[in-house]
Amino acid sequence: MTDKILESFNGTRIAGSIAAEALDKVAEIIKPGITTAEIDKLCYEFINDSGAYSAPLFYRGFPKSCCTSANHIVCHGIPKNKVLKDGDIINVDVTAVKDGWHGDTSRMFCVGDVSVKAKKLVKTTYESMMKGIETLKDGCFVGDIGFAIQKHVEKNGFSVVRDFCGHGLGKKFHQAPNILHFGESKTGEKLSVGMLFTIEPMINEGQYNTKVLNDGWTAVTKDKTLSAQFEHTVGITDKGYEIFTLSKKGLDLPVY
């Protein structure tokens, strides 16, 4: 690992831990009756109080500090005065920028008691992200990640969204390479030591097709079935990989 790589890893480690801690705070307050605007306020304040800022705010005109995507929303849901109710599942996606480095992470939260089907979707989505991460090593291919994710998801009867992907990041929020969450082993770009990117599979209960609402952001499932997503920021090391956005409280996956 060169000095330049070590510097980028150190920066991403700090940004990633702030982003992860923001989601730990969300875990403490999320319950039936809370609004997505209140979740956004918490993320905005926690990230600012940590000496960082939220990358989504005003990014390409996005109006809020995080994305809140409930039930059939696939991604990029805009926080508003929508009240969460018992049985909802919701993804909260935060990105902290510290000293120019980006830490991007999202988790699902279960609001009150959720259905068996929803729990299975959330669990399968988390497992698929981790299976994608476990393929990482110097010289692996983008297709190895997508293959591992797709295999696990389809085995469980769900589908992998095609319209959105993971991405390289660093001093920029989104950059090459695109990390597809479906595909074939040993295909696509080769990944090497020092590369920083996200793995963030969006998994649907029904078909994988999505559409974007008139607000220009909110992506939903076309068939209106549930969708789930988890995201970690990762880097390739000489030993394998590092995950920069782990919860220090062990709250990466909601407990039921």
Which residues in this chain contact Co ion in the complex, by CB under 5 A?
93, 104, 198, 231
Task: Read off the tokens for 245.
Answer: 């956005």
Q: How far is the CB of 101 from ligand MF3 (least distance, A)?
A: 15
Q: How far is the CB of 72 from ligand MF3 (least distance, A)?
A: 17
Residue 105's identity, in one-letter code, is T
- Of 58 and 256, CB closest to ligand MF3: 58
Task: Read off the tokens for 127.
Answer: 């497992």
The backbone region for 99, taken as left when phi is positive above 0, alpha when psi lies in -120 to 50, beta otherwise, is left
Length of the chain: 256
Task: Provide the Cα torsion 56, 60, 64, 65; round to 10°.
Answer: 10
Contacts of 75 (CB under 8 A, 6+ apart): 67, 69, 91, 93, 164, 202, 219, 227, 229
Q: Report the alpha-carbon distance of residue 59 to residue 167 in Å, rounded.
A: 16
Q: How far is the CB of 165 from Co ion (least distance, A)?
A: 9
Q: Report the alpha-carbon distance of residue 196 to residue 126 in Å, rounded.
A: 20
Examine residue 93 and tell whether it contacts ligand MF3 (CB under 6 A): yes
For residue 56, the partner it binds in Co ion, ligand MF3, none, with Cβ less than 5 to 8 A by kind, is: ligand MF3
- Part of the chain binding ligand MF3 (CB under 6 A), chosen from 23-31, 44-52, 60-68, 126-134: 60-68
Q: How far is the CB of 155 from ligand MF3 (least distance, A)?
A: 25
Q: How far is the CB of 146 from ligand MF3 (least distance, A)?
A: 16
Q: Let me know: does 219 contact 210? Beta carbons within 8 Å.
A: yes
Q: Kindly write out the interface string for residues 181-220 of this chain, putting x where it contacts ligand MF3 by CB under 6 A and - elsewhere.
A: -----------------x-x----------------x---
- Of 135 and 245, CB closest to ligand MF3: 245
Task: Read off the tokens for 183.
Answer: 């595909």
| Sole binder of ligand MF3 in the list 11, 16, 56, 194 (CB under 6 A) | 56
Task: Read off the tokens for 223.
Answer: 């068939």
Task: Read off the tokens for 227.
Answer: 């969708």
- Part of the chain binding ligand MF3 (CB under 6 A), chosen from 12-20, 56-64, 187-195, 241-249: 56-64
Examine residue 40 and tell whether it contacts ligand MF3 (CB under 6 A): no
Interface positions with ligand MF3 (CB under 6 A)? 56, 59-60, 62, 67, 76, 93, 95, 104, 198, 200, 217, 231
